[in-house]
Amino acid sequence: MSFGRQISRAETFTGVVILLCLLAVALGVFRQQYLFNPAVLVARTAEPKGTAPEQSIAAAWLPPELKEFGKPESFTPENLYDKIDGKAELYLAAGFVRMHCQRFALKDAADEWLEWFVYDMGTPAQAFSVFTEQRRAEARTLDVAEFAYQTQNALYFICGSNYVEAVASSAGGPLVKAMTAMARGFVAATAPGSGRLPQMELLPAQDLVPGSYTLQSADVFGFDQFKDVFTAQYKVNDAQVLAFVTSCQNADAAAALRDAYRAFLVENGGKPVAGQPGGDADKPIELMGSIEIVFSEGKYVAGVHAAPALGPAEQIAGRLHQQLAQKTK
């Protein structure tokens, strides 16, 4: 008994041809997955106009005992948080322009490595501001630049408008020695400019604590109108006195800023010191057991902050006033 008709040779041949065609299409699709479209290849390899791949930040002055241990990176104000989240605001407030960083390691010990950071701060003063605000309590002076110090496993210095940090994976030994050589190479290869800032000439030298200069960029002493304030510590007998100075566009602006700071101190509980000659506008202010003095001289606003006693505060403020009076003649 037959259950269906017999398939002809022609039908068999046709079926085989169709299967072969389908197989060819499948092979073509499979092969295409592993071929680059030339247009895509060009798009992937061509650099956009005006850009270039990152290059080593130390190619010209890397010490012979070190090698690159990671790719160089760059960060701008828009993405600095990606690298140093939590500290970026300090740099941004001081005028940060761009940061380059890269890791390096000892050639004979890859587990001994350091990371090198170069912050372009725009101006030497702005680099100095970050340098002083970041200064570590355990700092030791380092002779690679005018302003430089080191800790057990790190070093920090200014070179022109650059603020440089280098942090090693271990303390002391060949790695820190190589890191210091790297710093010397950087300074030699980079135009450092004058290490002396003009603001330093505004503060008297007598009784100055060496290395105590700072430049604070914003909200200085908690007062939001105080910006770019230069300070230095003085030691009078056993008293530590902090002197400060900032500049304005003109004398009228300086007088207005002086008055605004005095008003700020009084609003926060400050009281003019009793028994002093002159009107309240010229008197020192006692605030929470310390002495504040603020005055203007020409375009400058200056004084002392949080001095422990009236005598040393008036002594340093008097010298500062004389210094500024000479500068404004």
Distance CA 143, CA 291 (A): 36
Give percent above pLDDT 70 in the chain: 80
> What's the pLDDT score for residue 274?
75
Do residues 244 and 231 make contact, with C-beta atoms less than 8 angstroms apart? yes
Q: Which whole number is the average pLDDT over 181-210?
A: 85
User: Residue written as tokens 């992937």?
Assistant: 44
Do residues 213 and 232 make contact, with C-beta atoms less than 8 angstroms apart? yes
Q: Is the confidence at residue 136, as pLDDT, over 90?
A: no
> What's the pLDDT score for residue 198?
82
Distance CA 88, CA 111 (A): 28
> What's the pLDDT score for residue 135?
86
- pLDDT confidence bin for 257, thresholds 50/70/90: very high
Q: Is the confidence at residue 4, as pLDDT, over 50?
A: no
Tens of pLDDT, residues 291-302: 999 999 999 999
Distance CA 123, CA 225 (A): 21
Long-range Cβ contacts of 222-231 (<8 Å, 24+ apart)? 223/261, 223/264, 225/257, 225/260, 225/261, 225/264, 226/257, 226/261, 228/125, 228/129, 230/197, 230/199, 230/200, 230/202, 230/203, 231/305
User: Residue written as tokens 């009078």?
Assistant: 236
Looking at per-residue pLDDT, the higher value among 196 and 12 belongs to 196
Tens of pLDDT, residues 24-43: 555 454 444 433 332 222 22
pTM above 0.85, yes or no: no
Q: Which domains does the chain have, with CATH numbers?
A: 66-189 (3.40.1000.70), 198-327 (3.40.1000)
Count CA atoms closer than 13 A to 172's CA, side-chain side: 0
> What's the pLDDT score for residue 54?
58
Mean pLDDT of the residues in the chain:
83
Q: Which whole number is the average pLDDT over 194-216?
A: 85
